Amino acid sequence: MTLTKEQAAEYLLQMYQIRAFEEQAEKSYMAGKIHGTMHLSIGQEASAVGSISTLEPDDFIIGHHRGHGLTIAKGADLNLMMAEFYGKENGYCRGRGGSMHIADVKGGNLGANGVVGGGIPMAVGIGIGLKMEAKDQVLLSFFGDGAASTGAFHESMILAELFQVPVVFICENNQYAMSFAASDWTTSKKIAAHGELYGLASTSTDGNDLIAVREAVQKGVDLARSGGGPSLVVNDTYRWRGHSKSDRNRYRTKEEIEEWKKKDPIGRFHDYCLKEKLLTEKEAEEIEDRAYADIEAARVFAEASPDPSVDTLEEGVYAP
Amino acid sequence: MTLTKEQAAEYLLQMYQIRAFEEQAEKSYMAGKIHGTMHLSIGQEASAVGSISTLEPDDFIIGHHRGHGLTIAKGADLNLMMAEFYGKENGYCRGRGGSMHIADVKGGNLGANGVVGGGIPMAVGIGIGLKMEAKDQVLLSFFGDGAASTGAFHESMILAELFQVPVVFICENNQYAMSFAASDWTTSKKIAAHGELYGLASTSTDGNDLIAVREAVQKGVDLARSGGGPSLVVNDTYRWRGHSKSDRNRYRTKEEIEEWKKKDPIGRFHDYCLKEKLLTEKEAEEIEDRAYADIEAARVFAEASPDPSVDTLEEGVYAP
Amino acid sequence: MREITYLEAVREAMTQEMERDSRVFLIGEDIGEYGGAFQVSYGMLEKFGHERILDTPITELGLTGAATGAALIGMRPIAEIMFMDFTTLASEQLVNQAAKLRFMFGGQSTVPLVLRTPAGSGTGAAEHHSQSFENWFVHVPGLKVVMPSTPYDVKGLLISSIRDNNPVVFIEHKLLYKTKGEVPEEMYEIPLGKADIKRQGKDLTIIATAIMVKKSLEAAEQLAQEGIDVEVVDPRTLRPLDTESIVNSVKKTGKVLIVHEAVKTGGFGGELAAVIAESEAFGYLEAPILRLAGREVPIPYNRNLESAAVPQVEDIIVKARELANLKV
Amino acid sequence: MREITYLEAVREAMTQEMERDSRVFLIGEDIGEYGGAFQVSYGMLEKFGHERILDTPITELGLTGAATGAALIGMRPIAEIMFMDFTTLASEQLVNQAAKLRFMFGGQSTVPLVLRTPAGSGTGAAEHHSQSFENWFVHVPGLKVVMPSTPYDVKGLLISSIRDNNPVVFIEHKLLYKTKGEVPEEMYEIPLGKADIKRQGKDLTIIATAIMVKKSLEAAEQLAQEGIDVEVVDPRTLRPLDTESIVNSVKKTGKVLIVHEAVKTGGFGGELAAVIAESEAFGYLEAPILRLAGREVPIPYNRNLESAAVPQVEDIIVKARELANLKV
Ligand SMILES: Cc1ncc(C[n+]2csc(CCOP(=O)(O)OP(=O)(O)O)c2C)c(N)n1
Ligand SMILES: Cc1ncc(C[n+]2csc(CCOP(=O)(O)OP(=O)(O)O)c2C)c(N)n1
Ligand SMILES: [Mg+2]
Ligand SMILES: [Mg+2]
């Protein structure tokens, strides 16, 4: 499954865009332009881009609270996404959802979620609907290692297998649920083992290696599309930043963080592309520059965008 | 682990008492003396008596909706139990709980439960409490195969292992959750496999063989008492009666029921006792007669007992 | 006109909508071969097959979320929670997800979901199979809450609920399942948000829900013989609430008694009382606004205690008589 | 007297009770090294160790049930649900088990459990981290519900809650965590079920909960300059409710405005209005009973929308002024 130059350029661009978006998000927050909290996915770019690179445009994803990367990988308009992050009226959710609830329904992104495990049961139902309508679309359902401890995960795996839904469940195991170390109750291997017991074809991958992620998820996507039912992929990765703005990183060491930074998914894919002659040094630099320029443009767009009018508060609670 | 004559006599008596209680419960219901519903455990006597025979008097159990057998095996006063079943003021729960909520707290029976899976999370906490107080008591937590599909089960197994609670979780797999066949989503072996993955020592047994159940549960009890943490035992068994009074048995065949009746746990233990010369034919008959006489006496007691006075309705909602 | 039971009306509405719209399906526990704990969906598996009658293991949270997800992409699921007591396990997906997805996404989505569940006591099933939580869901913007009292209302309201583009909590009462009434064979809608005056009267208004409508009508007949003329208003939909019909009735009679089965404290009766007390009807009140509702206890098993725990016809008569004779 | 924050008052009450009673322990998510999402339990792990500070994975139902089970055998657990929005996942164990075990068992058991959880909006955390469900739990016999508004009340009420032999839902407000007030260093109890008149006044009564007490007091100061003398009543405990204090205040002023953050429809304000409208205070009412509460929307992310979704000081002033000038 070798990549074309176009693919290489596209995936590297998306990864840089994610990195740049998260860095900008943090800056904007520090500058007091954003209220609320946010969950940054710096360090997890390969999991998002590698997984979603296997989809057709009309396929679906449903995400979790750490969803910026997933949203970009699914092809979101960066301006509308940044505007939503800023809570502006022309953002994807008219400023109602913000960081934890960005959705791009037309683009097949059925939304981030503020409730850990909250998206997993819905993923089963989306799969049921796709199957009933005999659509050949598939869904990627993303959640974290912490979500795997919830009852929602257990019930959903049982239902997914029972109804043989066309869904690939993707556990982004970044080693911690806030301060709770995945290793304290389970490991990514164990999550895959649970998946196997539920009856799902399950594997775990080096989640910082875009190629490895892509290959693992592609298997699941092919299985789902060919009527083979659900599968589970565990991407082992790491978040460089704290869990959220309330995090004081008391539960992990600087050394551990540094160790993982050496496995930077962008650096690795960058080097791979050069090694495989998919990109030149210069092309890669241009891509990086473009990514940061795109995000800067998005920031300008977002900051110039209007806040929702308070008169519209009650709009959109009920559908006609 | 051979039995003494006294043990054999006691266990056979309890199994007959359970059978007799359930038959009486059904009669009383048919006669219109009971309202509500009930869940009979005829066919599951070995699981209840075999499991609980491993406990010391001051150990605990927490049960489920199909709990009559567990209650008798834990040494309940049959009169107070039958009175509760009849909803009388002198029943264990003053007629407030009835069939689905019989508890004998002094006797270490922390109650049946109307919510499937409802007792499992509490079992973890009871274990936490016993451990904190450095008591050497242990708890048996009973639930059905259907309960194993609930999120409550998943979360509880994770917490039980994390806190290394002195609890033996006992899944009474009677093959169905109402009409839902265990085999449709899992098997008793699979439930044990899940247990292993959670980190619990797990086994499944012929739940209609009192000796086999007793040996499996004894291992778990010894482990818990010696600080070795939680374990899981799956007792494969079968309920002869419908799920409850609303059941029309559309989901299973007469043949299947007949097949399982051949594995009658009482008959098997009866024959074992004779074969092992633990009891004579005559002694066994006397035991059976005594069991039915005990239940008849309990019925008379219950029917002669007073209903709660409506003036006392609001008593016991809050503790002083 | 043809008479069928409240239970048959539920089944008929679901069946006719499933015949009309292939996006409608059922999901729940033991709703297939078993026919549902109350036999509501009995026979539907034969008619629609396993593709559209989705029998699940015990997974209240999972199946409610599955229904929500299916609705999110345009299906029209009807989820059954076997007893309302178990909506406590499903409420995360119902309250945080189904109710909020549309608003949270800035109007990008709709969630045409119906969650059916039987509430109420009187079956001797005790604390865990007898509760009424309607006011929990009335408290959640994004949800609609329907609570029918007659077979006719069941059919029209359930059809409207299935066709509605929002999540609807449809609450049935177990003791009403066997009650009979005239129901047209053809399909019809009763708009959500319209109350129904079940009995015209001039002396006082009783606002009642579900089985309390039936009991209030019986009470009203007996009170009529004492010369007390009671109007009985059935909101039918609790959210959105038909405030106008309620306010008008109270303005007419000047006295109001609110009757529901759910526990009094924190219940829907409080909302009704507040709606009246803050409305123009306040100026017309000739007496305090009285509530008669479930006692402050879990539902006990014993038959006598169980019936004492919720309002009975006699209780309604006594309270209404007291109110009728009140002079302020 | 020494001043500490509302948050420190929570921590001090828990710490002192844990020092006094070895049966008291904490269980929740990220309450150990992390110190809790709001740092409420920060430092307690060092003091009490992993034996008594039980950090759990994400298992709201499981940890709430675990706390319930521990309480059932005589421990006195304090469970933390990180955000009240997630009590939707815990409510089965809280509502069906903890609240009912004693009654269901005919009085054989007690369940001395405290479930602490932060409610409310204003932090920009949007739909899933901002809700206020107090009236759900007020609706459940067997539970007590406490909602403090000051550091002083927090300490006394939390100590009472921990010592109470019943399950108590202790609801904190995120925006109050940093507010300061005088709090004695020694331990003291404030009885559950006693309201507190936070401000004496004669023209009208405002009944407010949690952060709305603070806002109402600010509003009252400004209204005083207009010559409107407002009495502010803080129930502090919602279940059991101190009806007497409320009724007396309304009898004195003849006018009442109810203010809470939770969504208006189906909220606790309905219960308060009903309690007043059915009481002897009814005869003293000079105007309709008004409610000012959360709008009928999920809590949105955008800062302006978020603050428009719940009552602000200015809204209270406007509404109270309108009420003061009302003549019926
Ligand atoms: C049901 C629920 N419980 C608790 C939280 C608070 N919380 C937000 S994110 C998080 C950790 C989630 O861990 P994981 O699933 O591994 O995702 P990660 O943050 O590591 O990407 C927690 C506990 C929540 N949002 N939802
Ligand atoms: C949470 C919940 N969902 C549904 C029910 C209705 N119900 C009562 S018993 C039962 C089947 C339970 O199956 P299992 O756990 O195998 O126990 P069994 O009845 O077979 O002994 C169901 C679905 C319930 N009581 N609780
Ligand atoms: Mg994680
Ligand atoms: Mg079973």
Does A107 contact chain C (CB < 8 Å)?
Answer: no
Res. D64: pLDDT tops 70:
yes
Res. A188: pLDDT tops 80:
no
What pLDDT score was predicted for residue A1? 63
Find chains touching chain D: ≥3 CB pairs under 8 Å.
Answer: A, B, C
What pLDDT score was predicted for residue D96? 98
Say which amino acid occupies A45: E
Alpha carbons A26 and A32: distance in angstroms, whole number: 10
Alpha carbons C90 and C116: distance in angstroms, whole number: 12
DSSP three-state, residue C169: strand
Ligand 1 close to Cβ of residue A243 (< 6 A): yes
Question: In sequence order, what DSSP letters do the residues of D242-287 get, joined into one string?
Answer: -HHHHHHHHHHHS-EEEEEEEESTTSHHHHHHHHHHTSGGGGG-SS
Residue C237 bridge partners (DSSP)? C146
Residue B278 phi/psi, 5-degree rounding, is: -85, -25
Contact between residue B111 and residue B142 where contact means Cβ atoms under 8 Å apart = no
Alpha-carbon distances of A270 from A12, A54, A281, C211, rounded to whole Å: 7, 19, 9, 69
Q: Which residues of C180-215 are buried (b: 16+ CB within 10 A; e: fewer)?
A: ebebeeeeeebebbebbebbebebbbbbbbbbbbbb
The ligand placed nearest to the CA atom of residue B243 is: 2
3-state secondary structure A105-127: CCCCECCCCCCCCCHHHHHHHHH
Q: Which of B154, B158, B197 sits opposite A193 (nearest CB)?
A: B197
Contact between residue A7 and residue A53 where contact means Cβ atoms under 8 Å apart = yes
Alpha-carbon distances of C128 from B89, C164, D96, rounded to whole Å: 20, 31, 6
Q: Which residues of D264-292 are buried (b: 16+ CB within 10 A; e: fewer)?
A: bbbbbbbbbbbbbbbbebbebbebbbbbb
For chain C, positions 262-291, list CB contacts with chain A under 8 A.
none
Residue nearest to atom 17 of ligand 2 (CA): B144
Q: Which pLDDT tens digit goes with each residue over B114-156? A: 999 999 999 999 999 999 998 899 999 999 999 999 999 999 9
User: Along the 328 residues of chain C, how does pLDDT read in single tens digits?
Assistant: 999 999 999 999 999 999 999 999 999 999 999 999 999 999 999 999 999 999 999 999 999 999 999 999 999 999 999 999 999 999 999 999 999 999 999 999 999 999 999 999 999 999 999 999 999 999 999 999 999 999 999 999 999 999 999 999 999 999 999 999 999 999 999 999 999 999 999 999 999 999 999 999 999 999 999 999 999 999 999 999 999 999 999 999 999 999 999 999 999 999 999 999 999 999 999 999 999 999 999 999 999 999 999 999 999 999 999 999 987 6
The pLDDT of B59-73, averaged and rounded, is 98
In sequence order, the 6+-apart residues with CB closer than 8 A to the CB of A109 are A60, A61, A62, A63, A70, A71, A74, A76, A102, A103
For chain C, positions 46-85, list CB contacts with chain A under 8 A.
51-52, 54, 56-57, 59, 61-75, 77
Rg, Å, chain A Cα set: 19
Q: Which pLDDT tens digit goes with each residue over B238-281? A: 999 999 987 888 899 999 999 999 999 999 999 999 999 999 99
Chains C, D: CB contacts within 8 A come to 162
Find chains touching chain B: ≥3 CB pairs under 8 Å.
Answer: A, C, D
Q: Which residues of B120-147 are buried (b: 16+ CB within 10 A; e: fewer)?
A: bbbbbbbbbbbbbeeeebbbbbbbbbbb
Res. A246: pLDDT tops 90:
no
Q: Which residues surround ligand 3, an ion (CB under 5 A)?
A: A 144-146, 174, 177
Nearest one of D137, D269, D260 to C273, comparing CA atoms? D269
Residue A254 class from Cβ within 10 Å (0-12 exposed, 13-18 middle, 19+ buried)?
exposed
Alpha carbons D14 and D10: distance in angstroms, whole number: 6
Dihedral (C-alpha) B25, B28, B33, B37: value to the nearest 10 degrees?
A: 40
Does C193 contact chain A (CB < 8 Å)?
Answer: no
Residue nearest to atom 12 of ligand 1 (CA): A177
CA of C319 to the centre of ligand 4 (A): 46
Alpha carbons A298 and A311: distance in angstroms, whole number: 26
Res. D224: pLDDT tops 70:
yes
Contact between residue C116 and residue C80 where contact means Cβ atoms under 8 Å apart = yes
Contact between residue A228 and residue A206 where contact means Cβ atoms under 8 Å apart = no
- Is the Cβ pair B180, C57 closer than 8 Å? yes
Give B37's pLDDT tier (boundaries 50, 70, 90): confident
Alpha carbons B240 and B263: distance in angstroms, whole number: 11
Q: Which of A149, A150, A155 sits opposite B150 (nearest CB)?
A: A155
Q: Which two tokens stand for residue A170?
A: 């993707």
Residue D237 bridge partners (DSSP)? D146
What pLDDT score was predicted for residue D328? 63
**Strand pairing class (C144-146; C237-239):** antiparallel
DSSP three-state, residue D50: helix
Catalytically annotated residue among C129, C139, C173, C260: C129
- Is the Cβ pair D301, A184 closer than 8 Å? no
What pLDDT score was predicted for residue B182? 83
DSSP annotation of C226: T
What pLDDT score was predicted for residue C19? 98
Q: Which two tokens stand for residue A30?
A: 């520090």
Instruction: Provide the CB-side half-sphere exposure for B125 (13 A, CA).
Output: 37
Alpha carbons D143 and B90: distance in angstroms, whole number: 26
- Is the Cβ pair B96, C305 closer than 8 Å? yes
Chain C positions in Cβ-Cβ contact with residue B184 (cut-off 8 Å)? 57
For B7, other C-beta atoms within 10 Å of its C-beta total 14
Res. A316: pLDDT tops 70:
yes
Nearest one of A188, A288, A168 to A238, comparing CA atoms? A188
Q: In angstroms, how far is the first alpha carbon of chain B from the final one?
A: 47
Ligand 2 close to Cβ of residue C86 (< 6 A): yes
CA of A197 to the centre of ligand 4 (A): 20
The ligand placed nearest to the CA atom of residue A146 is: 1
Looking at the CA of residue A173, tell me the nearest atom of ligand 1. Answer: 16
Question: In sequence order, what DSSP letters do the residues of chain A get, joined into one string?
Answer: -PPPHHHHHHHHHHHHHHHHHHHHHHHHHHTT---S-----TT-HHHHHHHHTTS-TT-EEE--SS-HHHHHHTT--HHHHHHHHTT-TTSTTTTSS-GGG--BTTTTB----SSTTTHHHHHHHHHHHHHHTT----EEEEEETGGGGSHHHHHHHHHHHHTT-SEEEEEEE-SEETTEEHHHH--HHHHHHHHHHHT-EEEEEETT-HHHHHHHHHHHHHHHHTT---EEEEEE---SS-SSTT---TTS-HHHHHHHHTT-HHHHHHHHHHHTTSS-HHHHHHHHHHHHHHHHHHHHHHHHSPPPPGGGTTTTSS--
Q: Which two tokens stand for residue A102?
A: 């960005």
Res. B1: pLDDT tops 90:
no
> Given ligand 1 and candidates A65, A113, A149, A241, which is best to mutate, with the most ligand atoms within 8 Å of its CB?
A65
Instruction: Provide the CB-side half-sphere exposure for A78 (13 A, CA).
Output: 25
Ligand 1 close to Cβ of residue D58 (< 6 A): yes
Q: Which of D265, D278, D297 sits opposite C290 (nearest CB)?
A: D278
Nearest chain C Cα distance for residue B91, angstroms: 11
Does B150 contact chain C (CB < 8 Å)?
Answer: yes
Does A314 contact chain D (CB < 8 Å)?
Answer: yes
Chains A, D: CB contacts within 8 A come to 123
Chain D positions in Cβ-Cβ contact with residue B128 (cut-off 8 Å)? 27, 54, 66, 69-70, 75
Res. B187: pLDDT tops 80:
no
Looking at the CA of residue B177, tell me the nearest atom of ligand 2. Answer: 13
Does A247 contact chain D (CB < 8 Å)?
Answer: yes
Nearest-by-CA chain B residue for D28: B159
Alpha carbons B75 and B82: distance in angstroms, whole number: 13
Q: Which of B100, B151, B247 sits opposite C126 (nearest CB)?
A: B100
Q: In angstroms, how far is the first alpha carbon of chain A from the final one?
A: 47
Residue nearest to atom 25 of ligand 1 (CA): A115
DSSP three-state, residue B124: helix
Nearest-by-CA chain A residue for D300: A96
Cα angle A141-A241-B198, degrees, rounded to a multiple of 5: 50
Alpha carbons D208 and D199: distance in angstroms, whole number: 11
Nearest one of B275, A119, B301 to D128, comparing CA atoms? A119
Residue nearest to atom 2 of ligand 1 (CA): A116
Alpha-carbon distances of D317 from A168, C234, D108, D218, D230, rounded to whole Å: 54, 36, 50, 9, 10
Contact between residue C111 and residue C58 where contact means Cβ atoms under 8 Å apart = no
C128 is catalytic: no
Q: Which residues of A299-311 are buried (b: 16+ CB within 10 A; e: fewer)?
A: bebbeebeebeee
- Is the Cβ pair A155, C61 closer than 8 Å? yes
Looking at the CA of residue B147, tell me the nearest atom of ligand 2. Answer: 15
Ligand 1 close to Cβ of residue D80 (< 6 A): no
The ligand placed nearest to the CA atom of residue A148 is: 1
Alpha carbons D89 and C64: distance in angstroms, whole number: 13
Residue A7 class from Cβ within 10 Å (0-12 exposed, 13-18 middle, 19+ buried)?
middle
CA of B242 to the centre of ligand 2 (A): 13
What pLDDT score was predicted for residue B59? 98
For residue D184, the surrounding DSSP H or E stretch is: none
The pLDDT of D141-151, averaged and rounded, is 98
